[in-house]
């Protein structure tokens, strides 16, 4: 009887997962997992974590909290989803400013014409001195085909991307070249993350820090997360 019940439960979960995947159509969730709440499943789609009923008819967005332990059961999954989505883009599709000895890596969605993005970049030496690698992805807030978008593409297509990034953020003119580039893909990911402004920092544990964070404060935050 115990074996039959275990098989039945597994079969029920498989049927629930199929119903949820069918309901989502072409979204192709990365994972569908049962939660401690009967009939409620956690679903990871790209960088997003949502909850769905077993029949796939209902979806909830928000945090699942264990009231007794006061534990947020969604945080870890959401952080992992962000990390996986960024890893899928790949560091070779980013513009990376790395110190000689890397202690931490931070992914920064940036806009060439954003004031606080320029402030962050003007202090790049301070981030590097603190052992923080800055991995840039582009998010021109004015959208595709705007001047900021064309600058982002030109930076990517430059012979020296890092120098072009530095020059453009300093307000200097750069050659407005075009080529195959990841800017639209990075913009799509930013929108999936719910990004509203720049700079937008994704920390190495998958947590986020929307807005400019000075190097010393960021280093302290990252050290605390990693126990350094």
Q: Residues with catalytic annotation?
A: 111, 114, 117, 141
Q: How far apart are the first and last CA of the chain?
A: 51
Nearest one of 11, 80, 4, 68 to 42, comparing CA atoms:
80
181 near 157, Cβ under 8 Å?
A: yes
Alpha carbon 70 to chain centroid, angstroms: 26
Which residues, 6 or more positions from 120, have their beta carbon under 8 angstroms from its beta carbon?
108, 110, 127, 199, 212
Q: Which uninterrupted H or E stretch holds 208?
A: strand 208-210
Tell me the residue ranges of DSSP E strands in 5-138. 31-34, 40-45, 48-53, 59-60, 65-66, 71-72, 95-97, 104-110, 132-138
């Amino acid at each position: 009887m115990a074996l039959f019940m275990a098989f039945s439960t597994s079969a029920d979960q498989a049927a629930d997962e199929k119903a949820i995947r069918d309901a989502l159509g072409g979204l192709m969730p990365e994972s569908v997992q049962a939660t401690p709440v009967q009939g409620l499943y956690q679903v990871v789609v790209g960088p997003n974590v949502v909850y769905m009923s077993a029949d796939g008819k209902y979806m909830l967005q928000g945090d699942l909290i264990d009231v007794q332990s006061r534990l947020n059961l969604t945080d870890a999954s959401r952080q992992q989803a962000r990390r996986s989505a960024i890893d899928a883009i790949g560091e070779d599709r980013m513009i990376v400013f790395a110190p000689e000895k890397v202690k931490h890596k931070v992914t920064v969605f940036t806009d060439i014409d954003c004031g606080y993005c320029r402030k962050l970049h003007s202090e790049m030496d301070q981030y590097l001195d603190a052992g923080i690698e800055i991995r840039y992805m582009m998010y021109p807030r004015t959208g595709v085909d705007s001047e900021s978008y064309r600058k982002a593409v030109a930076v990517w297509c430059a012979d020296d991307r890092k120098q072009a990034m530095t020059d453009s953020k300093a307000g200097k003119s750069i050659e407005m070249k075009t080529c195959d580039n990841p800017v639209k893909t990075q913009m799509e990911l930013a929108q999936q993350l719910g990004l509203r402004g720049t700079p937008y920092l994704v920390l190495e544990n998958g947590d986020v820090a929307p807005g400019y964070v000075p190097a010393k404060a960021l280093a302290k935050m990252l050290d605390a997360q990693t126990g350094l």
